[in-house]
Chain A
Amino acid sequence: MTRTVVGSASKEVVIGLNQPFVIIGERINPTGRKKLAEEMKAGDFRRVKTDVLAQVEAGAHMLDVNAGIPLADEPAILAETVKLVQSLTDVPLSIDSSVVEALAAGLAVYRGKALVNSVTGEDERLEAVLPLVARYGAAVVAISNDDSGISEDPDVRFAVAKKIVSRAADHGIPKEDVVVDPLVMPVGAIPTAAQQVFWLLRRLRDELQVNTTLGASNVSFGLPNRIGINATFLAMAATHGLTSAITNPLEPEITATINATNVLRGLDPNCSAWIGAYRQPEDSERGRRRRGRQRPNPNG
């Protein structure tokens, strides 16, 4: 079973098929968040701080950090954000940029083994990003599109993923450290979008044997009740082999769905994470007594 291990200075997280699903919090991202963008550009990180603490509290195992602000010094802002986030939490980070210099700046200040988000199958990107990933001993998100674009043909996307894994190996990056993002398109515009991804996830799991991640919210673009679609999509994707997702842990429906997939797939021993998250708080008196009787978990 392929295990992707990422870490901060003091904490490791394992992404893998027989592991609880890894939630990568998506909130530290100024794209489409005007206020956050303005603040980060001006060096005001109060909102970032709030988002970090809230996401970890809500159950994020990792946090994605992006500083893509138009007309700003992205490498400097990303490095500063990474440092700040690591001073607030010990969860490992995904360093997210499409600017190679920003990835380099983020990696240079990161303590631990980061997840680099991302490289595509485009030759120029592969040759720019993979050496960085190798130099810092990081893991990398591999997006399955290449110079020919984002194919609607899942065979093409599988071939691109395979190419990235092989090119990573050329740079000394083992396939354990390549987490493939099969890219989901909006189902409101492309009716087969989700099914293509499920099919691709099975092949990535069974044939390429790599771990996977997804930015799930794209699937519901242009539809009402997006959270309902996103949560169900994540649950279905998990059964087809998805091992992590970049998503919003502050949405209770999303976290509940992911936690439930762990329970139903037998990855939450004694359902203790589930019970811990959802024990009725109003049941306070009995809840306290029960907690008082609780013995240490025999499975560790």
Chain B
Amino acid sequence: MDEIDEIYEAVLDGDMRATPEYVQAALDAGVSASAILQEGMIAAMNEVGRLFEEDEYFVPEMLIAARAMKAGLSILRPFLVDAGIEPVGKVVLGTVQGDMHDIGKNLVGMMLEGAGFEIVDLGTDVAPAQFVEAVRNGVDILGLSALLTTTLSSMESTIKAIEEAGLRGAVKLMVGGAPVTDGYARKIGADGYAPDASQAATLAISLIA
């Protein structure tokens, strides 16, 4: 098995101890930082997403895989910076105003990170103005989460606030959460909806393509 395969397998197994060791070994063997990231870790997280959608993998397995990748990235990051490798895009995430749920949003953040995005997590109960501010600072995708039928309206008012600030053209908007549907996403003017964390990663890739 070559170095990349070992990294791929370690991330897929959620092995938080082995992943950074294999990353170090690959770097020592002269494998490029870009290949380690793309063919090792991102490819593995892609597979995690596929297995999740097939009901082969479950949330705890997704969590440990994301943690393993994070551990590997802590070794790899300086080499990525040196090689001038940029994240595939920048995503700002947050749960909308009045809503305290964060587990779903966190899972989305992990899968997006696994797909190579830079993530800025604004947390829960985020006011429209905070989202507007984040978009103003430059971001490719804004991801809004809502878990209550009552806070769906905050999702809508956040999108309105971005429109009113004249920033709607500057960002792609994706939405998700238990009460959100594809139809609702279209109705409030979002660019996309995903039913789970794995499909959110696929959606994000397609939005910046």
Contact = CB atoms under 8 A, between A and B. Distances in A.
A221 B59 contact: yes
Interface size class of B (residues with CB under 8 A): 20 to 34
Nearest to A66: B149
A177 interface: no
Choose among A71, A98, A190, A221 the residue with the greatest number of B CB atoms under 10 Å from its CB: A71
Interface in A89-119: 98-99
A188 interface: yes
B101 A150 contact: yes
Q: Is the interface of A mostly helix, strand, loop or mixed?
A: loop
A221 B55 CA distance: 13
Contacts of B13: none
Given A188-B58, A222-B60, A98 B184 contact: no
A222 B59 contact: yes
Given A149-B124, A222-B60, A223-B60, A68 B149 contact: yes
Contact of B100 (A32, A70, A145): A145
A189 B149 contact: no
A98 B153 CA distance: 12
Contact of A71 (B58, B148, B184): B184
Given A71-B184, A149-B124, A150-B100, A188 B148 contact: no
A185 B58 contact: no
19 contacts: A31-B178, A34-B181, A68-B149, A68-B179, A69-B149, A70-B149, A70-B179, A70-B180, A99-B150, A149-B125, A186-B59, A188-B58, A189-B60, A189-B103, A189-B107, A221-B103, A222-B58, A222-B60, A224-B55
Interface of A: 31-32, 34, 68-71, 74, 98-99, 145, 149-150, 185-186, 188-190, 221-224
Given A31-B179, A70-B179, A70-B184, 9 more contacts: A32-B179, A34-B181, A71-B187, A98-B149, A149-B100, A149-B125, A186-B103, A189-B60, A221-B103
